[in-house]
Structure 1
């Protein structure tokens, strides 16, 4: 019974540790990241996430699987090639490679620069090992839907956009790209400086941490309950065994006393018989 209890305890502990490891794998530290463009200013729902080093400077910090999990931790999906391409046509330009859904590292470029995107324009792709570390492009579907709805709504806020849309396609595209180019960087350092801390990440991180703590606490309580129940059953079993042993000992003592009494009576009877024989 004791070995069974020990095995059950180890089984529960292993189960809790496995659950905790799964939660840890799904949880990525998100308190030291930066996003570009600024928070809540994604382009076509796409934004780029960079890791920060100890000096609070962007660095390539995510392999392909970590990049995907990071977007999930932020409550969004990793962007696809088509989604980043759409953001590029709407003015997204960066100077850092980032992972996308197709296990490619890409950098959207509007202007050709020698130190950005291999001096090429368009969606510059880099097919490399999935263990290579880059930034990641995430896609917020709700942001994309909101921007699309706002773009199709005739309101004072969109009057400038509407006036641009009335221009010829080539002029409108040129104007849009010029505007985005002035807000984004022409050099890697300027781009990095424009990336601002992801303030919304703290709430996501708190929610993820609270969820992990809640799940771990539940399994810890279940483990405690199982241990208590097993202890109670073991105590009852031990108590029953002790009681049986006590009854067995009492039975043996009674049997022993009975045998002794019978032996004494037999001895007395033998002495009586000898006395009678002598007297005769």
Structure 2
């Protein structure tokens, strides 16, 4: 149980360290503190501050959780697409699919297709990730039931301006799409899961500490009791031995006393016999 506590503490420590995302190494599209219908895309940045594919399916899900949100589903990205979200980089979604939302056809983005372009690849393939902020989506839905035309123009215009800098060579379905810099600012997130995991780690640590203290106290009490019992047993043995010695001494004294009394009785009988014999002899002499 002690080792289990240590293992849990180390595991939560590892989780917390993994969830402390360096915001200078990630880039969010459409931008910092922005999303479309709650959906935003997260890319990793290399040493040149350029986006690169870095997350497999498992890492993608963990990254969204570390930011305090969930990985987006296909339906959620589709909804964001209808409201103007358009990218040119593949990102993982909840169904273990890679997708690109496209409003306009572009040769080097999504194989010149429009709509939600899907790409079924192995889960170990490294891509970006689409995350979903439920509270952000609810707020946007409350603010307006539909996006304004200017909002759609912003998203599509940003993609089109970026696409002019991209290579015009065709992209096959089995190759990695061309990387395009959306010039989005690095995101700064304070995920609720970080504080939650920290609280859980503190709770686990405190529980294990109390458990260890309880074990030490119980062990101390048990040790004292065992020593007390050992002392009582030793005293009882000494008492029994003393009683046996006293009993033996009394038995020996009683035997000696009994022997002495027997000797006195025999001596008295002998003296009485001698007295009777002397009196008989004396009587006979007087009679003669």
What residue number does 1:196 align with? 185
What residue number does 1:218 align with? 206
Corresponding residue to 1:252 among 225, 240, 265: 240
Deviation per residue, 1:193-220 (Å, 9 max, x gap): x23222124x657525532442233223
List alignment gaps of at least 5 residues for structure 2: 167-177, 271-288
Q: Distance in 1 between matches of 2:142 and 2:219?
A: 62
Residues 1:81 and 2:74 aligned together: yes
User: How many matched pairs?
Assistant: 252
Q: Contact 1:44–1:144 (CA<8 Å) still a contact in 2?
A: yes
What residue number does 2:38 align with? 45
Corresponding residue to 1:92 among 75, 82, 85: 85
Q: Contact 1:67–1:136 (CA<8 Å) still a contact in 2?
A: yes
TM-score (norm: length of structure 1): 0.70
Q: Distance in 1 between matches of 2:86 and 2:244?
A: 99
Q: Contact 2:20–2:194 (CA<8 Å) still a contact in 1?
A: no
Deviation per residue, 1:129-176 (Å, 9 max, x gap): 3333322101112322333344459xxxx9xx4xx48xxxxxx97x56
What residue number does 1:108 align with? 101
Q: Distance in 2 between matches of 1:18 and 1:236?
A: 32
Q: Contact 2:98–2:119 (CA<8 Å) still a contact in 1?
A: yes
Cα distance, 1:106 vs structure 2: 1.0
Aligned CA RMSD, in angstroms, stands at 3.7
Residues 1:30 and 2:30 aligned together: no
Cα distance, 1:260 vs structure 2: 4.7
Deviation per residue, 1:199-246 (Å, 9 max, x gap): 124x65752553244223322333233223422431343133223223
Query: Using a 3 Å threshold, how does the CA distance of structure 1 residues 223 and 34 change in structure 2: closer, same or farther?
Result: farther
Q: Contact 1:106–1:123 (CA<8 Å) still a contact in 2?
A: yes
Query: Using a 3 Å threshold, how does the CA distance of structure 1 residues 243 and 55 change in structure 2: closer, same or farther?
Result: farther
Query: Using a 3 Å threshold, how does the CA distance of structure 1 residues 142 and 272 change in structure 2: closer, same or farther?
Result: same
Q: State the structure with more CA Rg.
A: 2
Give secondary structure in 1 for the equivalent of 2:230: helix
Q: Which moved more, 1:219-228 or 1:135-144?
A: 219-228
Residues 1:60 and 2:53 aligned together: yes
Residues 1:234 and 2:222 aligned together: yes
What residue number does 2:279 align with? none
Q: How does 1:63-212 map to 2 (within 5 A)?
A: 63-109=56-102, 110-114=104-108, 116-152=109-145, 161=148, 164=149, 175=153, 178-182=156-160, 186=164, 187=166, 188-191=178-181, 194-201=183-190, 204=192, 207-208=195-196, 210-212=198-200
List alignment gaps of at least 5 residues for structure 1: 1-10, 166-171
